[in-house]
Structure 1
């Protein structure tokens, strides 16, 4: 898959009062969670302990002052942007995709159907590189499923995740453009 180079760019996603990043960076590695599985309202087995280090989340600024901003390549497609991690580390060049808990995670770039995100301004108008004039722009991210990206808390788990929310619970991020002219990324 090849991104449209003319409309792609690299930027950071931040918030005013929270840090955005992988759970391992926000809370320490490994970011473990005990998950109880339910189906149709019925308990379906023993709780499972899972490493959730690769999931994205948020944390209040004063609790995580050493975290670097989340740097992403916004690879343009006709349906939205494919977000590829550009922070150095274990998730470099992995794409952000939906997770089964309605959260978002880093996955290998050769995934069959990477998630696509639409950038929206405060009026709900789609933003592309063409109309992204300011160096720092408030944006919301909308998934192709028409859900917004927001902070979600899963009962009994210690983290605040980034994941699918309704419009009233969406997060407004600060998008800061780092590079407007980026080489095409082959997947």
Structure 2
């Protein structure tokens, strides 16, 4: 699960956004155990990271502040306020019934605005053997 627990890390996570016809597929680029894994929306709507040898990462759309679907090539500059959606539902924080912590999940009732900081563009996506 992708959690929002206090004290874990104040540093933003680093993801690679791979554009596909279905939308953007996100891959973890943080060094460590999860490097190369894909972001996947589980059946219970929470986001997690999984190895890409068995599952394709879920497809996400980037939406502008006006709600329009945009691509990274539509966004000039390196910092943007966006909403991230999966199947029309916004990615937001939410609690699980068995945990005091917040996790990322898809929700239809809330649109969370995220700050997207683009560090590099036109980067090859195949940098991990787990992404084949």
- TM-score using structure 1 length: 0.63
After superposition, the CA RMSD in angstroms is 1.7
Per-residue CA distance 1:27-64 (angstroms, 9 max, x = gap): xxxxxxxxxxxxxxxxxxxxxxxxxxxx11224xxx43
Hey, what does 1:21 align to over in structure 2?
none
- Return the match for 1:157 from 74, 92, 99: 99
Q: Say which structure is richer in helix.
A: 1
Poorly superposed stretches of 4+, deviation over 4 Å:
none
Specify every segment of 5 or more residues in structure 2 that has no aligned partner in the other structure, as ranges. none
* 1:29 match: none
CA shift for structure 1 position 65: 7.9
Work out whether 1:94 is the aligned partner of 2:37.
yes
Residue segments in structure 1 that go unaligned for 5+ positions in a row: 1-54
Per-residue Cα deviation, 1:116-152 (whole angstroms, up to 9, x for no partner): 0000011111121211112110011110x22111111
| CA distance in 1: counterparts of 2:98 and 2:39, whole angstroms | 25
The 1-side partners of 2:2 and 2:77 are apart by 26
| Structure with greater strand percent | 1
SS in 2 for 1:152: strand
Q: Tell whether the 8 Å contact from 1:71 to 1:85 is kept in structure 2 after alignment.
A: yes
Larger Rg: 1
**Residue equivalent to 1:147:** 89
* Alpha-carbon distance, 1:153 to partner: 1.3
Give the direction of change, closer, same or farther, for the CA distance of 1:66–1:150 in structure 2 (3 Å limit): closer
User: Who is 1:6 aligned against?
Assistant: none
CA contact (8 A) 1:82 1:95 kept: yes
Aligned residues: 128
